[in-house]
């Protein structure tokens, strides 16, 4: 057994955060495991080892999903940062109101909202797609779901961004975001059932607490996880949908011709540009991967975005092809910690893709603007200059 | 070969049903039903695909 190869890549440099794929290609070729002294992490770079590690919670603990100790301490006791057996009940409590079966009743309303918003934007002819669609739509859905209005609604976007940002290493972005992430935590700690709209899922979580179906004082924490994990990531995914369809009009035409491709198109958007590219784990005892040793206690960065572009698993991985339908992409993670909100994410994204395919022939866009962020890779501005209607 | 469902872990995402509708389906309550757990050679590939797409690893082949 040997030590892994070493690279001077810095995962959290502005350059890599803005476009990680050249760095990922180099790391993947160095080996399935590479050590990065700049970040004091071992990265997993290839599809198979990533998927295996995500399934193997005994060797790869979620006690260190973030890349700084303060965030990991703050997450202690949550489903996100626990391992089985404690994780099992926490997860069940979290997903009780978030699983596809719990969300089925929302589908019609979400589709109507998406269609109305896309119709309105197409009608205006030009718009800024990130504010007007990628942010507006998930915020409306999540506000409706949890049942909040007013102060919380106005702040949810910056709170959601900060909740992801603080999972990075202790750099300037993380330090500046802790107080904002704390505002979200504070709101979730103080919110009461009567603050949330009747009939909302958020109110339902408090009702479940009141009848003893979830432990006392956990409703606020559950809502915190919904909002911390579900806002920024979905905003990124919807922005990516618009940008990738604008850049690949032939792929939009395929979905227009065959709406059954909507789920496949979302899988390919997620594979091609995951909202989250790197996620943490801690090695509980020395493990060997492909003849290479990772020592006990090592911090691991699971490079979801590198695995998604692994030519050992996907042919022509750097090409965006909706028909490939990569159902086994890594962007929601996999296994016991697989994204708990993926059912809601699919509802939202399928609704947006369906509406775009019905109402848009082609999008003419200006240059996209990106701002480096520690965890979520998303587009900050995307001007749609012209909509060629369907 | 036999398809084994870890019931508590299943969240009803339904991707397995899309991969192998002949072998399993979500019922009206969104709970997964294995219509045929024992599968022969003819269905092995489909069963494997269903196991593979489960996002929370609730299915396995025994």
- Which phi and psi (to 5°) does residue A204 adopt? -60, -35
Q: What does the block give as tokens for A1?
A: 């057994």
For B51, the token pair is: 């196991």
Which DSSP string corresponds to A144-211? HHHT--HHHHHHHHHHHHHHHHTTS-SSHHHHHHHHHHHHHHHHHHH--GGGS-TTSHHHHHHHHHHT
Query: Is the Cβ–Cβ distance between A92 and B7 less than 8 Å?
Result: no
The pair phi, psi for residue A365, each rounded to 5°, is -120, 155
Say if residues A86 and A92 touch (Cβ distance below 8 Å): no
Say what the pLDDT of residue A168 is: 98
Give the model's pLDDT for residue A390: 84
What would the CATH number be for the domain defined by B3-61? 3.30.70.20
pLDDT tens column, A279-330: 999 999 999 998 999 999 999 999 999 999 999 999 999 999 999 999 999 9
B53 in contact with A, Cβ within 8 Å: yes
Residues of A in contact with B18 (CB under 8 A): 327
Contacting residues of B for A99, CB less than 8 Å apart: 11-13, 30
- Rounded to the nearest angstrom, the minimum Cα separation between A288 and chain B is 22
Domain ranges of chain B: 3-61
Residue A97 has a pLDDT of: 82
The CATH architecture of the domain made up of A14-389 is Orthogonal Bundle (1.10)
Question: What's the pLDDT score for residue A100?
Answer: 85
Which of A88, A100, A327 is nearest residue B11 as measured by Cβ atoms? A100
Please tell me the distance from the alpha carbon of residue B31 to that of residue B14, in angstroms, as a whole number: 9
pLDDT confidence of residue A155: 96
Write out residues in chain A with pLDDT < 70, as ranges: none
> What CA–CA distance (Å, rounded) separates A228 from A234?
11
H helix or E strand, kind and range, residue A129: helix A129-129
Query: How many CB atoms sit inside 10 A of residue A356's CB?
Result: 27
Tell me which chain B residue has its CA closest to the CA of residue A331: B55
Question: CA dihedral in degrees (A330, A182, A57, A339; nearest 10)?
Answer: -30
Q: Which residue of A has its CA nearest to B14?
A: A100
- The upper half-sphere exposure of residue A370, i.e. CA atoms within 13 Å in the direction of its Cβ, equals 19
- Segment B13-38, tens digit of pLDDT: 999 999 999 999 999 988 999 999 99
User: CB-based burial of residue A84 (10 Å sphere; 0-12 exposed, 13-18 middle, 19+ buried)?
Assistant: middle
The Cα of B18 is separated from the nearest Cα of chain A by a number of Å equal to 10
Domain spans of chain A, in order of start: 14-389
Q: How many CB pairs under 8 A join A and B?
A: 47
**Between these two residues, B54 and A100, which has the higher pLDDT value?**
B54
pLDDT, position A59: 98
Note whether A7 and A34 are within 8 A (CB).
Answer: yes
Dihedral angle at the C-alpha atoms of B27, B28, B31, B36, nearest 10 degrees? -10
**Facing residues of A294 across strands?**
A287
- For A368: left if phi > 0, alpha if psi spans -120 to 50, otherwise beta; the answer is beta
């Amino acid at each position: 057994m040997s030590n892994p190869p070493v690279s001077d890549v810095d995962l959290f440099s502005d350059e890599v955060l803005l476009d990680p794929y050249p760095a990922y290609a180099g790391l993947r070729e160095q080996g399935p495991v590479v050590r990065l002294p700049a970040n004091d992490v071992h990265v997993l770079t290839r599809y198979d080892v990533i998927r295996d590690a995500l399934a193997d919670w005994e060797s790869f603990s979620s006690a260190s999903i973030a890349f700084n100790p303060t965030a990991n301490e703050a997450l202690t006791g949550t489903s996100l940062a626990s391992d089985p057996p404690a994780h099992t009940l926490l997860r069940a409590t979290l997903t009780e109101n978030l699983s596809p079966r719990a969300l089925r009743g929302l589908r019609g309303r979400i589709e109507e909202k998406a269609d109305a918003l896309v119709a309105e934007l197409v009608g205006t002819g030009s718009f800024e797609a990130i504010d007007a669609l990628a942010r507006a739509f998930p915020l409306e859905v999540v506000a409706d779901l949890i049942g909040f209005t007013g102060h919380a609604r106005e702040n949810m976007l910056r709170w959601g961004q900060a909740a992801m940002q603080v999972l990075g290493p202790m750099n300037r972005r993380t330090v500046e975001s802790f107080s904002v992430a704390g505002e979200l935590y504070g709101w979730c700690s103080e919110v009461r059932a009567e603050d949330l709209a009747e009939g909302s899922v958020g109110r339902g979580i408090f009702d479940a607490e009141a009848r003893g179906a979830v432990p006392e004082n956990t409703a606020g924490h559950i809502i915190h996880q919904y909002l911390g994990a579900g806002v920024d990531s979905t905003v990124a995914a919807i922005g990516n949908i618009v940008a990738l369809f604008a850049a690949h009009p032939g792929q939009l035409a395929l979905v227009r011709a065959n709406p059954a491709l909507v789920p496949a198109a979302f899988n390919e958007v997620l594979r091609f540009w995951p909202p989250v590219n790197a996620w943490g784990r801690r090695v509980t005892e020395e493990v060997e991967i492909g003849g290479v040793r990772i020592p006990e206690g090592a911090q691991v960065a699971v490079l979801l975005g590198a695995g998604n572009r692994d030519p050992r698993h996907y042919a022509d991985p750097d090409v965006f092809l909706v028909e490939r339908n990569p159902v086994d992409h890594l962007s929601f993670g996999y296994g016991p910690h697989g994204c708990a909100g993926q059912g809601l994410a699919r509802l939202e994204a399928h609704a947006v893709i369906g509406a775009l395919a019905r109402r848009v022939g082609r999008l003419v866009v200006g240059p996209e603007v990106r701002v480096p962020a520690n965890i979520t890779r998303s587009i900050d501005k995307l001007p749609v200059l012209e909509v060629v209607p369907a | 070969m036999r398809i084994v469902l870890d019931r508590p872990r299943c969240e009803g995402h339904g991707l397995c049903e899309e991969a192998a509708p002949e072998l399993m389906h979500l019922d009206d309550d969104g709970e997964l039903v294995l219509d045929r757990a024992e599968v022969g050679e003819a269905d092995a590939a489909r069963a494997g695909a269903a196991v593979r797409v489960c996002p929370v690893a609730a299915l396995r082949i025994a």
